[in-house]
A and B are shown apart, each in its own frame.
Chain A
Amino acid sequence: MTQRGPFLFSVALLFIAGAGTAWFRHVDLGIPLLPGAQQLVWQVEAQVEFSADGTVQAFLTLPPKQSGFRIVSESHPSPGYGFAVDRSGRQPRAHWTKRTALGNQMLFYKLDLVQDPDYEVAAEAPARVVPVPFDEPYRTAASQVLTALLPITADARSLAQQIILKINTVPLDQNMNLLLDRYRAQRLLSRLLMVAGIPARTVKVLPLEDGRRRQSLTDFLQVWHEGRWLLFDPNTGLVSNTDNLLLWQTDTPSVLEVIGGTRSRVTFSMISQTRSTMGLATGQEASSFSLYSLPIAEQGMFKLILLLPVGALVVVIMRLLVGIRTSGTFMPILIALTFLQTELVPGIISLVLVVSVGLMLRSYLSAMNLLLVARIATIVVIVIGIVSVFAVISYRLGLIAGQTITFFPMIILAWTIERMSILWEEEGPREVLIQGGGSLLVAVLAYVLMNQATVAHLAFNFPELHLCLLAAIMVIGRYTGYRLLELHRFGALDDNARGRREDVH
């Protein structure tokens, strides 16, 4: 066992290193210590994949200048490729070239955007509308739809709104039915509007959501109204809040165009950060070895992974200082991670449901005398069965929350059920309640802490603070005092001692 001095010294060193680095980065790079909504930075990464066979050219449409988002920087980490931005068209396009490329290729385009509601870009007025006429019998159907709608609408906005409503009303009327047989909904929308003389276009939009990976673009409708483009969701109508919608493609025929390659596709990953714009500018170069230099998809993963030590600290505190018994040492952290995705209450309800139904079914398994591995495997299958049934039932009942049940780690659940069931047989239901309740309590505490915006912000933006966490865990690891619950456990001694004193007097 190491001596106390050197141990405390190394712990202090860890702590100072962690806190010091964090402070230095805060002061020097201007990374805010607290999360602030005013300077939300989105990092968006487009990942282009295709398989090549010879000379390759790839064009990727880049997002246009638009209100609400300021583009701070862009980069294109694709070694071995020539890169240029082609700004000749109405919308800029990234242009990658390579003389000989073989096999699977992967190209990246990274974009840093500052979300800024005050940032306005004057919209370019559309060219005069040249409607593409429908062929018969669609022409008649279209004109009938419009004649029905025009009298009850006032302007471009209300007309678009009504057409969308009509398209999404079940059952469809005969004309709409005919038109939708021939045209896709988005395409039909813009064509109908153009026929009515209203400039409209189908655009591709990237919904920004923190930590999402492998996303694709979504089709939206834009309608020119009173000097600006209004965004419509083809399913629900006018979109009032466009804060988290990044317009990606408006004026080019396709998002991705690959010459000399096959099976091409583009996916998007994104992550939000709260860095100051100044820090963003300087930090970009300074942090070539930081987490920010990772592809966005991995950064999204790390946002979650870096929360794990926080959960670990909670487990250490609850087990070593409080003395709560949990089923499986770090199982509560995994459960807490799941709660992050499912929200707390639905998460707890579905967890308790799955585990109790699992326990019930598991008690039948006991009678079958299966070997351990086969038994766990059986429970895995059962858990998946339960989860599917719950998902279907909750969907039927219209409970969206039930869908999130799939976020639970199935194997962990199976082990939990197995362990609980053995506990039940050996120690009785009371111990199951104690340990199950203990695990749940620790999981909820870990969740509450991990769900704090400040904690998430610090964990990701100041990973060096984990050194402080480490120091804390190590110090607790050497704590030899009583656990809180031991004060209760040995409570009988106090009475006895007191009784003894009374005996003597």
Chain B
Amino acid sequence: MFISARRLRDLGILGMNKRNVEYINRFNPRRLYPLVDNKLRTKLIAQKAGLPVPDLLHVVSAQYEIESIEPSLRELSEFVIKPAQGSGGKGILVILDQDDDGYTKSSGVKIGLLDVKRHLTNIISGLHSLGGRTDVAIIEALVRVNPLFEHISHEGVPDIRLIVFKGYPIMGMLRLATKASDGKANLHQGAIGVGLDIGSGRSLAAVQHDRRITHHPDTGVPLTDITVPYWTVLLRLAARCYEVTQLGYLGCDIVIDEHRGPLLLELNARPGLSIQIANDQGLLPRLNQIESIDEFAPSLDARVEYAMRHFAQYDPQQTTQPGGPKSRSARGEAST
């Protein structure tokens, strides 16, 4: 199952070393990292910039606040508790309902107030943060799955990862949790990545464990003809993150709420490389293309429009695009 380095280069695949040296080191200044590594700071700066995010309900940063948390939890029927510095979906507790008996988790299991408190204690003592640093717990509003997605995902809310380079959204994928990934949306834990066409938000291909699949292994839903709603809004939201954070090479995780539409969930200064497998496309040609643009501070509209025009792949009528699209459209027609 090896591929030659030459073929990989021909496909324009970005490798880990090149990503680190030529993109992260060059475009992401170290001092900006805390902004994205801490979800609370991301949320606050996003709110200041007017970007839609799941509502922040409470912040718990000290043990004494946990002791008196109950009255404030009482007012909420559903909420999510997450560590500000957790990564990879660690330490996220989703409460769907509460009554006198206790709190109902997303899995349907009921837990008591004591369990919630212990979870908060674990978070602030740094159980889920990198290197065990003390952390704060964020309590935020629950994101309601958009009905369009409801039947696809096994558990949890599907999110959309967009790679934004110098403010241009250049590649995207939809991440679906599976049984294997334990409800988490991390590709290396077994979640499904569905490559998305930047031009239209339509699905291109799907992978799990770095291998091609066509149907969701748990729900059996075909993954070939998904179209992500609010696509342009989503791209604009991701592209704006560049101005807000000043990070040149950025991964934006966006969820679509039933009522509020696209919401920024978190940002990543070291986005992974699997998105290339999900898209069956290397990042390098697009990165090079963006770098060669010689324009001073292009507007948000210009950037999104540029990306949608140049990186569109899904177009059954058009067969003359260089690279992969021609063959893909043939494949797309065959499978639909």
Of all chain A residues, which has the CB nearest B211? A492
| Contact (Cβ within 8 A) B21 A482 | no
**Is A478's beta carbon under 8 Å from chain B?**
yes
* A371-B210 in contact given A320-B17, A480-B17, A483-B17 (Cβ < 8 Å): no
Closest A residue to B328 by CB, please name it: A500
Check A497 for interface membership: any CB of B closer than 8 A.
yes
Q: Across the two chains, which residue of chain A brings its CB closest to B121?
A: A369
- Contacts A369-B122, A426-B88, A503-B327 given; indicate if A493 touches B280 (C-beta within 8 A): yes
Known A369-B118, A372-B126, A501-B327; judge A491-B1 contact (CB<8 A): yes
Residues of B within 8 A of A483 (CB): 15-17
Q: Which of A342-373 contact B (CB under 8 A)?
A: 369, 371-372
Instruction: Let me know if B179 is at the binding interface, CB within 8 A.
Output: no
Interface residues of A in 476-493 (CB under 8 A from B): 478-483, 486-493
- Which residue of A has the minimal Cβ distance to B3? A494
Chain B nearest CB: distance from A104 CB in Å?
A: 42
Query: B77 in the interface, Cβ–Cβ < 8 Å?
Result: no
Interface residues on B, range: 35 or more
Q: Which of B16, B18, B189, B207 has the most CB of A within 10 A?
A: B16
Task: Please measure, in the bound complex, the distance between the C-alpha atom of A371 and the C-alpha atom of B121, giving whole angstroms.
Answer: 9
Closest to A501 in B: B327
Q: Which residues of A contact B276 (CB under 8 A)?
A: 490, 493
B321 near A: Cβ within 8 Å?
no
**Across the A-B interface, how many residue pairs have beta carbons closer than 8 Å?**
97
Cβ of B296 under 8 Å from chain A:
no
A237 CB to nearest chain B CB (Å):
57
Whether a CB of chain A sits under 8 angstroms from the CB of B4 is yes
Q: How far is the CB of B272 from chain A (nearest CB, A)?
A: 11
A323: interface (CB < 8 Å): yes
Tell me the minimal C-beta distance from B19 to chain A in angstroms.
9
- Given A1-B25, A496-B280, A500-B324, the answer on whether A480 and B18 have CB atoms closer than 8 Å is yes
B2 at the interface (CB under 8 A from A): yes
A504 at the interface (CB under 8 A from B): yes
A427 within 8 Å of B (CB atoms): yes
Given A372-B127, A501-B327, A504-B330, are A490 and B212 also a contact pair (CB < 8 Å)? no
Q: Is the CB of B331 within 8 A of A503?
A: yes
Bound-state CA distance A494–B5 (Å) is 11
Q: Which of A478, A489, A495 contacts B21 (CB 8 A)?
A: A478
The interface of chain A, by Cβ under 8 A from chain B, is: 1, 320, 323, 369, 371-372, 426-427, 478-483, 486-497, 500-501, 503-504
Report 13 cross-chain contacts, Cβ distance below 8 Å, ordered by A residue: A372-B127, A481-B5, A481-B18, A482-B9, A482-B13, A483-B17, A486-B16, A487-B2, A490-B210, A490-B276, A491-B3, A493-B11, A504-B327
